[in-house]
């Protein structure tokens, strides 16, 4: 009975904290989400592509976003060009074996990225070497960036130029950051669809 009661309390606390975090995020992030969606839509309209990456759970979110674009989000429409740089396990193990693991995304960006493409970075940590190197590689390819970030932004925030967008989650808790990042990606997917394929 005690376990059941404390379990129910903890579940309710998680739901409440999630709701409060989303209300706070809606206040501070809506404009940057709208700007990022417009950037992504224009990129796709111009015949360019979106490259995206993140580590761990953020990598799973990157793959989900690509499935929204390449397959569908909520309605059927033509496929949109996007690549998750986290998917090819053989390539990633080869790149890390013959180089440094912190360059696994940077190598791919230098090979695949072109001017006009966008790099979408997703992170729950402020200073992640793989993503910092990815951002540097994107800059070398004259790509723009959208960064789903957290904390004080860390080194990644310092790499942003005037054409880039940072969407920084107003929470330090891992689970809340993931929830906000997922909601942001859903908003981006929805706005891209509404812009490119208005009903």
- pLDDT tens for 30-87 read 999 999 999 999 999 999 999 999 999 999 999 999 999 999 999 999 999 999 999 8
What letters, b where the CB count within 10 A reaches 16 and e where it falls short, cover 150-172?
A: bbebbebbebbeeebbbbbbebe
DSSP helix/strand/coil, 45: helix
Element (H, E) at 136: helix 129-140
Count the alpha carbons within 13 Å of 155 in the hemisphere toward its beta carbon.
11
- Residue 90's pLDDT band, with cuts at 50, 70 and 90, is confident
Q: What is the pTM of this model?
A: 0.94
Q: What is the mean pLDDT of residues 13-37?
A: 97
CA distance 39 to 22: 23
């Amino acid at each position: 009975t005690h376990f059941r009661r404390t379990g129910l309390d903890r579940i309710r606390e998680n739901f409440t904290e999630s709701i409060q975090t989303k209300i706070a995020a809606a206040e501070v992030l809506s404009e940057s989400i709208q700007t990022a969606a417009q950037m992504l839509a224009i990129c796709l309209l111009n015949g360019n592509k979106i490259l995206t990456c993140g580590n761990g759970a953020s990598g799973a979110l990157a793959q989900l976003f690509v499935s929204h674009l390449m397959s569908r989000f909520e309605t059927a429409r033509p496929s949109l060009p996007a690549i998750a740089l986290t998917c090819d396990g053989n390539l990633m193990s080869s790149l890390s074996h013959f180089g440094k693991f912190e360059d696994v995304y940077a190598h791919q960006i230098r090979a695949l990225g072109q001017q006009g493409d966008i790099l979408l970075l997703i992170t729950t940590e402020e200073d992640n070497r793989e993503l910092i190197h990815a951002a540097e590689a994107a800059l070398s390819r004259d790509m723009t960036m959208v960064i789903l970030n957290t904390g004080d932004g860390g080194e990644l925030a310092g790499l942003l130029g005037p054409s880039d967008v940072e969407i920084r989650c107003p929470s330090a808790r891992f689970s809340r950051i993931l929830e906000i990042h997922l909601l942001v990606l859903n908003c981006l997917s929805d706005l891209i669809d509404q812009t490119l394929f208005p009903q």
